[in-house]
Amino acid sequence: MPDSTVAPSAVSEFAQALPLYVALGCYAAALLATFAWSKIAVWLLRVGAVIHFTAMLYRGLAIGFFPLTNKVESFSTAALAIALVTAATWRDVRCYAGSLLALCVITLLVALQFPLGLSFPPPLMRTIWYPLHVPLSFTAYALWAAAAAAALVWLRERDPAWLLRVDRLALQGFGVWSVSMVCGGIWGVVAWGAYFMWDVKIIWSVILWFHYASFIHLRLTPSLSDKPWVRPLLALVGFVWVLVAYVGTSFFFGRSSHAF
Amino acid sequence: MPSDAAATSFEQASREPRWAWLYSQGLGVLCGQLTVLLLAVGSVVLAATRDGASAMIAMDDIRGFFAPPSAVHLWFYLLIPTLGLYALNTLLATWLNVARRWRAGIRAWHAYAAAVVHVGFLLGLLAHGVGGLWGGAHGQLVLGSAWQSLDDGRQARLVSLDAPRLPDGGLKQIWAEVEVRDAAGRQTTSTVSYNGPLSSGLGSHLLLLTRPVSLPVAHFERAGTRCQLEVDGHCELARVDVSLLYLHPPAAGGGGALARVRVEIPPSHGAEEGAEEGAGEGAEEFWLAERQATRLADGSNLLLERIERRPGILLQRRYAPGNPWALAASIVMIVGLALMWRRFLPAERRKTQATSTATNEVL
């Protein structure tokens, strides 16, 4: 989707961005706290997520729509999804919490590299299917990132509990992604007349679905029962696919029906 | 003991039919990962050959991969048997799994959740095949205030058009109120917008809003009767059938516009009008300038009073037979996922859930 016109606002661009910078500071402090004072890390994360959510809510109210109309809001919402999933699945394990918080900080930092002005959504975005499809997609991305982080912990500790966590997070991501694809498909039908197109972003969405669909069957495959490392490995590969689907297709594949 | 386990496993293996690999989990995982690989290659190929070998591939169409066949689409030609094998594997595995559970007396709905999701997947594959082979765009249609015939046998006309603006002057949305009537004459009203096409057949016939347009309307007068016509429209003026074939220049109203008009005068019409018996019967075509009258063969005058512009909408016709199947796939898949909700919970919560359910049952 192309960016729409910039909405006039009495509040300066800096004031709009300030809560996002504060949230970024909280996430960065939480990341540092996982190394030194892990007990307060989760609280810093929660405070950052509340500020971040409030900042996005303000942007939404200013444009009268879900705040997902340009790249800054796309990356910011992705970072918020990672923060919320990290808080919801919190484990006081540096490798797990630290890697997710690092991802959250990087994603929000990327968001702040784009122009921070507000944009009105173009007419094609004005449907209930859009604010259902995109946030669900980002939630699935965040769950799969958490599955990859859990896979890293398993590779270090070989604790079966973390293997179960990898399985569950991957399955949760798959369920959310499936619902997101259904919403996106319905939006595609009402906007373009087709639920699927040979478009790189959509192809990569299907790739993610197939990857995690086969992933959740690995546990049930008898020939792989003595190879528990396969699932963490594919969880990490899946996260690379997530990065290609989200960032790669928007920036490195040229034309797409999805601008972000 | 390991030797016992090995013996059991050997026994089980020897009891398995020779085609057991067709419904094995391993084959399913292999097909899934092969699909991932082929689609990943395909995404790069499509992006690289968008203006070349892949130029004919649009929307969800799969015929473009064969028009003409090309070596760069080898990934797609391999994808077809891979997905075919995947579908067969899923179908057999699901069937056998459901049969086994049913025979074992398992009646809980959630025990069949995965099977329901698998059925959704198979319906999804079917949707891609049907839509990709038979779907397509079928030109455009301009809808104005006159009734227009639609592809599905109904007729539609534009009743009102609203284009609310954003505070910065940009377009917020288009709301076009459209009246639709079926062959039996039953009328319904629908609202067409950028995310609200006019659809029928569970989304298989779609009219998608492209943009609002300004439609020229010609006002005719003959023997004290008047009618207004859009291009391709026709009306009856005192029993003479008048059709507007063309407007030149079609996009400009006002002075200088020319209308190509066809007039059909029925037999014995002249007698009723008081003219010479049978005079002027038949059809004639001619150009008519704005505010100009012409004398018809029956001796009466046809006047093009003026041409004005009225709002209309340009719609894209699309036939998408895969949509109903995709809708069915979506519903089935969501139902399947909803049935397996327990599996999404953390293990500790699942235990609590099971304990409380058991307690409730005891109570």
What CA–CA distance (Å, rounded) separates B22 from B34?
16
pLDDT in tens, B143-195: 998 888 888 889 999 999 999 999 888 899 999 999 999 989 899 999 999 99
What CA–CA distance (Å, rounded) separates B124 from B161?
37
Cα-based angle A117, A121, A123 (whole degrees, multiple of 5): 155
Q: What is the per-residue pLDDT for B100?
A: 96
- Give the residue carrying structure tokens 């391999």: B78
Number of Cβ within a 10 Å radius of residue B184: 5
Strand partners, B286: B261
What CA–CA distance (Å, rounded) separates A111 from B212?
36
pLDDT in tens, A163-177: 999 999 999 999 999
List the one residue out of B302, B277, B165 whose CA is nearest residue B225: B302
List the one residue out of A238, A20, A234 whose CA is nearest residue A141: A238
pLDDT in tens, B184-225: 989 999 999 999 999 999 999 999 999 999 888 899 999 889
Residue A182: list chain B partners with CB under 8 A: 330, 333-334
Cβ <8 Å between B43 and A220: no
Task: Report the chain B residue with the minimal C-alpha distance to residue A184.
Answer: B330
Which two tokens mark A114? 């784009």
pLDDT grade, residue B350 (50/70/90)? low
What CA–CA distance (Å, rounded) separates B254 from B290?
8
Q: Given CA atoms A87, A89, A92, A96 in this order, what sign does their dihedral have?
A: negative
Cβ <8 Å between B208 and A218: no
- Segment A187-198 mean pLDDT: 95
Which two tokens mark B156? 């539609």
- Give the residue carrying structure tokens 């921070």: A116
pLDDT grade, residue A5 (50/70/90)? very low
Give the distance from residue B276's alpha carbon to the nearest chain A alpha carbon, in angstroms: 57
Interface test with B, best of A190, A233, A247, A255 (most B CBs within 10 A): A190
Task: Report the chain B residue with the minimal C-alpha distance to residue A190.
Answer: B195
Displacement of CA B211 from its chain's centroid (Å): 17
Which two tokens mark B285? 């075509």
Cβ <8 Å between A171 and B344: yes
Task: Report the chain B residue with the minimal C-alpha distance to residue A5.
Answer: B170
Chain B contact for A164 (CB, 8 A cutoff): yes
| Three-state SS at B15 | helix
Lowest mean pLDDT across A210-219, A247-256, B7-16, B147-156: B7-16
The one-character DSSP state at A220 is: T
In DSSP notation, B258-276 reads EEEEEEEE-TTHHHHTTSS
Number of Cβ within a 10 Å radius of residue A72: 25
- Give the residue carrying structure tokens 């040979």: A198
Helical packing angle, A13-36 and A94-111, nearest 10°: 160
A5, B170 Cβ separation under 8 angstroms:
yes
Q: Report the percentage of chain A scoring pLDDT > 70.
A: 93
Number of Cβ within a 10 Å radius of residue A177: 24
B248, B258 Cβ separation under 8 angstroms:
yes
Which two tokens mark A80? 């918020």
Q: What is the per-residue pLDDT for B274?
A: 45
Chain A, residues 176-215, CB within 8 A of chain B, namely 178-179, 182, 185-187, 189-198, 200, 203-204, 206-207, 210-211, 213-214
What CA–CA distance (Å, rounded) separates B216 from B250?
7
Q: Report the percentage of chain A scoring pLDDT > 90.
A: 81
In DSSP notation, A199-240 reads -HHHHHHHHHHHHHHHHHHHTT-GGGTT-TTHHHHHHHHHHH
Cβ <8 Å between A214 and B330: no
What CA–CA distance (Å, rounded) separates A29 from A27?
5
Q: What is the per-residue pLDDT for A15?
A: 77
**How is chain A split among helix, strand and coil, in percent rounded to 5?**
75, 0, 25
pLDDT grade, residue B346 (50/70/90)? confident
pLDDT grade, residue A17 (50/70/90)? confident
B312, B142 Cβ separation under 8 angstroms:
yes
Q: B162 — phi, psi (to 5°)? A: -125, 135
pLDDT in tens, A198-220: 999 999 999 999 999 999 999 88
The one-character DSSP state at A119 is: B
| Per-residue CA distances from A58 to A63, A67, A81, A84, B169 (Å) | 9, 9, 17, 18, 22
pLDDT in tens, A26-46: 999 999 999 988 889 999 999
Q: What is the per-residue pLDDT for B181?
A: 95
A48, A54 Cβ separation under 8 angstroms:
no
Q: What is the per-residue pLDDT for B8?
A: 53
- Segment B64-89 mean pLDDT: 96
Q: What is the per-residue pLDDT for A120?
A: 92
Give the distance from residue A165's alpha carbon to the nearest chain B alpha carbon, in angstroms: 8
Q: Report the percentage of chain B scoring pLDDT > 90.
A: 60
Residue B1 has pLDDT above 70, yes or no: no
Residue B127: list chain A partners with CB under 8 A: 195
pLDDT in tens, A218-227: 988 888 888 9
What CA–CA distance (Å, rounded) separates A73 from A135?
11
Cβ <8 Å between B32 and A210: yes
Number of Cβ within a 10 Å radius of residue B42: 23
The one-character DSSP state at B66 is: B
Write down the mean pLDDT value for chain B: 86
Residue B107 has pLDDT above 90, yes or no: yes
Closest Cβ–Cβ partner in B26, B46, B128 for A200? B46
Which pTM was predicted? 0.86
Cβ <8 Å between B172 and A197: no
Displacement of CA B191 from its chain's centroid (Å): 16
B176 contact partners, CB below 8 Å, separation of at least 6: B143, B158, B160, B161, B162, B191, B192, B193, B209, B212, B313
Which two tokens mark B76? 């797609």
CA R_g for chain A: 19
Closest Cβ–Cβ partner in A126, A195, A197 for B326? A195
pLDDT grade, residue B362 (50/70/90)? very low
Helix (H) or strand (E) holding A71: helix A71-88
A82 contact partners, CB below 8 Å, separation of at least 6: A100, A103, A104, A107, A141, A142, A145
Which two tokens mark A227? 């190879």
Which two tokens mark B145? 């205030």
B212, B175 Cβ separation under 8 angstroms:
no
Give the distance from residue A25's alpha carbon to the nearest chain B alpha carbon, in angstroms: 31
| Three-state SS at A111 | helix
List the one residue out of B254, B231, B83, B42 whose CA is nearest residue B148: B231
Burial annotation B203-240 (CB, 10 A radius, 16+ → b, else e): bbbbbbbeebbebbbbebebeeeebbbbbebbbebeeb
| Structure ipTM | 0.92
Q: What is the per-residue pLDDT for B3?
A: 47
Residue B171: list chain A partners with CB under 8 A: 123
Q: What is the per-residue pLDDT for B13?
A: 55
B114, B333 Cβ separation under 8 angstroms:
no
Residue A8 has pLDDT above 50, yes or no: no
Which two tokens mark B172? 């917020």
Closest Cβ–Cβ partner in B61, B334, B347 for A164? B347
